């Protein structure tokens, strides 16, 4: 921030500006810096609109001498425009002096009445066309950063794909919530068939960002040992993994929902998949409610697909076991999954004889 010059406003300028504000008949006040003071120079009355009266500044200003122009706006009538005219051909000392005195000018005259400001380096910047371009620039939306633009795109996508209100009737489609992802027929069929089949297998889904639609990427008979290599390494995805195991009592075939989002994925894709994750999980839960397999109540999330092995799934799904001693010295194992069992309470120490 540039330093202030310490130059103050003359009493004559304060009176002239106060009179112009009250009379509402003055269009321009020309202000200059003379003898270390901000002084009143000249005034021009209102004849037309501000855009029309701007042509008078061409004769009022000099090509190489800076000046301040206080211009009364048309609407609202009580507001003023501060014009800082500092030509490129002006002396360097004058440029610095006028630049460092701007704040003092507004502060002494009352900054609240100045609702806009305009910087001009030549008379060409003060034509009616230039002023209209200035107003257009002010009204234009502020530029967004790359991340802000991505957030705005996702917000607009959510609004455009939000499901319409359907009254008190329940929706018959299993389309999830979140960002309102659409399920195609082949996606629904692939997930439903996975729940009715036997053995291990996987269904991998991706999102079409343009239409917010789930796409069937692939289906294959993978095992727990080949699971990690079946998921994309650089793009996010949703996966339904059918896993027959004996980590529960009794053994069962588990359908595990996996949300994989590698760290190298584009930011926009990470946000889109993260927003839709819960909706897809809930929709699949409804779809597989009557399947012959057990749909896991826990989601598995990872940012590194290579870590998806049996130990990782056991940990994420709470299939690790606790070993406890029974009252008769025997040991029991209790799984921490959905079918966890209580274990025997250890017997306390023997009572001492007197």
User: What are the pLDDT tens digits along the chain (354 aa)?
Assistant: 445 667 899 999 999 999 999 999 999 999 999 999 999 999 999 999 999 999 999 999 999 999 999 999 998 777 999 999 999 999 999 999 999 999 999 999 988 899 999 999 999 999 999 999 999 988 887 777 777 777 777 777 666 554 444 443 333 344 443 446 889 999 999 999 999 988 899 999 999 988 889 999 999 999 999 999 999 999 999 999 999 998 888 899 999 999 999 988 888 888 889 888 989 999 999 999 888 899 999 999 999 999 999 999 998 888 754 434 444 444 444 444 444 444 444 555 555 555
Eight-class DSSP state of 60: H
pLDDT at 294: 92
The answer to whether residues 230 and 222 touch, using CB atoms and an 8 Å cutoff, is yes
Q: Judge residue 59's burial from the number of C-beta atoms within 10 Å of its C-beta, 0-12 exposed, 13-18 middle, 19 or more buried.
A: exposed
CA atoms within 13 Å, Cβ hemisphere of 192: 12
What proportions of the chain, in percent to the nearest 5, are helix, strand and coil? 35, 25, 40
Pairwise CA distance, residues 1 & 3, whole Å: 7
Tokens of 280: 């897809």
For 116, other C-beta atoms within 10 Å of its C-beta total 14
pTM higher than 0.75, yes or no? no
* 275: Cα separation from own chain's centroid: 12
pLDDT at 268: 86
* Total residue length of the chain: 354
| Sequence-ordered alpha helix ranges (H) in the chain | 11-23, 50-53, 57-60, 92-109, 128-139, 146-161, 185-196, 227-230, 267-287, 310-316
pLDDT at 140: 80
């Amino acid at each position: 921030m540039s330093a202030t010059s310490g130059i103050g406003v003359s009493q004559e300028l304060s009176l002239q500006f106060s009179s112009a504000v009250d009379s509402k008949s003055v269009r321009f006040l020309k202000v200059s810096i003379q003898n270390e003071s901000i002084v009143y120079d000249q005034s021009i009355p209102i004849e037309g609109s501000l855009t029309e009266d701007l042509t008078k500044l061409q004769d009022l200003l000099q090509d190489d001498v800076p000046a301040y122009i206080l211009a009364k706006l048309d609407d609202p009538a009580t507001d003023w425009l501060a014009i800082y005219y500092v030509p490129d051909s002006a002396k360097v000392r004058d440029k610095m002096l006028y630049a460092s005195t701007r704040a003092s000018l507004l502060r002494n005259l009352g900054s609240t009445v100045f609702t806009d400001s305009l910087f001009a380096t030549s008379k060409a910047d003060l034509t009616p066309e230039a002023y209209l371009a200035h107003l257009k620039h002010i009204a234009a939306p502020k530029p967004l950063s790359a991340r802000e633009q991505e957030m705005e795109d996702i917000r607009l996508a959510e609004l455009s794909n939000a499901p319409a209100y359907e009254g008190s009737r329940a929706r018959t489609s299993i389309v999830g919530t979140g960002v309102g992802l659409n399920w195609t027929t082949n996606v629904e069929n692939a997930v439903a068939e996975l729940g009715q089949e036997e053995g291990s297998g996987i269904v991998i889904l991706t999102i079409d960002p343009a239409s917010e639609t789930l796409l069937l990427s692939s289906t294959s008979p993978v095992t727990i040992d080949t699971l990690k290599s079946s998921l994309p390494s650089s793009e996010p995805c949703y996966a339904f993994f059918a896993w027959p195991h004996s980590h529960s009592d009794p053994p069962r075939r588990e359908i595990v929902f996996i949300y994989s989002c590698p760290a190298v994925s584009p930011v926009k894709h990470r946000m889109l998949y993260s927003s839709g994750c819960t909706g897809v999980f809930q929709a699949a839960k409804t779809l597989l409610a009557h399947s012959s397999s057990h749909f896991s109540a826990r989601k598995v999330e990872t940012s590194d697909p290579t870590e998806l092995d049996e130990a990782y799934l056991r940990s994420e799904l709470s299939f690790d076991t606790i070993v406890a001693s029974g009252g008769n010295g025997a040991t029991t194992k209790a799984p921490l999954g959905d079918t966890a069992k209580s274990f025997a309470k250890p017997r306390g120490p023997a009572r001492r004889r007197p």
